[in-house]
């Protein structure tokens, strides 16, 4: 299986929710950031459904999740923008208005590589992940052509590669090492509001250390699984589209 794009000058990772980028491609972004890439995040929703606490004050949760996303970007070593489109969590759509926004940020940030959810992953339940995937693909198409959204008054921009994470048919692996694994884990654990619901780590539990070790082992196992596709110890697998 082919692996390792040349290190891009810049990369834009597009996600439905705060934390999706770190799960999907955090180690790859950490590798590129360490090699000098400017790494940007674009998060489509406000993350306001991301709690199991029915009494949670949702505006406070949104603000917290934005802070956590910025901390996660720093933990990856990313120095680019962290942009929030702010659509209500669970209600993201992939219509023209949203596509306009994604194309705008691709044109404004001019990433060499764009990364996002694979919208064609079969049996994916969460609608936001499907829609964010379609917005990534459709946003790239709109951004690259000067006749789409000319009122944006920005030069059109054609990235050189699109990497889809959580891929239905992965055909590309980015090799990562121990340093990138550590950065990915630190970035994931920066999403503190998600520790219980997503990572199954409860700070108030006597099992906390074991829970954290189990989470770290799951992340590492996944990286080993992905790396094995290319015959290497650790990696992140993608569907790569380089004919843009």
Q: State the residues that interact with Zn ion by CB under 5 A.
A: 16-17, 20
CB of 167 to Zn ion, least distance (A): 16
Nearer to Zn ion, 160 or 198 (CB): 198
CB of 128 to Zn ion, least distance (A): 6
CA distance 27 to 197: 22
Nearer to Zn ion, 92 or 175 (CB): 92
CA distance 127 to 37: 31
Nearer to Zn ion, 38 or 45 (CB): 45
Which secondary structure element, helix H or strand E, spans residue 228, and what is its range? helix 208-228
Sequence-distant (6+) residues with CB within 8 A of 50 are 17, 18, 61, 65, 89, 193, 194, 197, 198
Name the closest residue to Zn ion (Cβ): 17
Backbone phi, psi, residue 239, to 5° = -90, 120
CB of 45 to Zn ion, least distance (A): 8
Nearer to Zn ion, 13 or 175 (CB): 13
CB of 144 to Zn ion, least distance (A): 26
CB of 77 to Zn ion, least distance (A): 22
Work out the burial of residue 50: count CB atoms within 10 Å of its CB; fewer than 13 is exposed, 13-18 middle, 19 or more buried.
buried
Q: With beta carbons less than 8 A apart as the criterion, state whether 176 and 236 touch.
A: yes
Nearer to Zn ion, 106 or 132 (CB): 132
């Amino acid at each position: 299986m082919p692996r390792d794009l040349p290190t891009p000058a810049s990369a834009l990772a597009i996600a439905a929710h705060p934390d999706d980028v770190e799960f999907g491609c955090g180690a790859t972004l950490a590798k590129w950031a360490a090699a000098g890439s400017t790494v940007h995040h674009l998060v489509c929703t406000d993350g306001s459904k991301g709690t199991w606490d029915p009494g949670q004050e949702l505006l406070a949760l949104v603000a917290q999740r934005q802070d956590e996303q910025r901390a996660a970007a720093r933990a990856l070593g990313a120095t680019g923008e962290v942009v929030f489109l702010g659509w209500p969590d669970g209600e993201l759509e992939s219509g023209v208005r949203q596509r306009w926004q994604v194309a705008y940020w691709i044109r404004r940030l001019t990433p060499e590589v764009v990364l996002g959810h694979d919208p064609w992953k079969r049996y994916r339940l969460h609608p936001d992940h499907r829609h964010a995937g379609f917005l990534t693909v459709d946003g790239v198409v709109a951004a690259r052509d000067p006749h789409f959204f000319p009122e944006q008054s920005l030069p059109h921009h054609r990235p050189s590669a699109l990497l889809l994470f959580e891929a239905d048919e992965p055909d590309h692996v980015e090799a990562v090492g121990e340093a990138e694994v550590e950065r990915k884990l630190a970035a994931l654990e920066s999403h503190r509001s998600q520790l219980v619901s997503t990572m199954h780590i409860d700070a108030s539990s006597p099992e906390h250390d074991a829970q954290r070790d189990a989470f770290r082992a799951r992340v590492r196992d996944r990286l080993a699984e992905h790396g094995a596709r290319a015959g290497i110890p650790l990696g992140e697998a993608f569907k790569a589209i380089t004919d843009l």
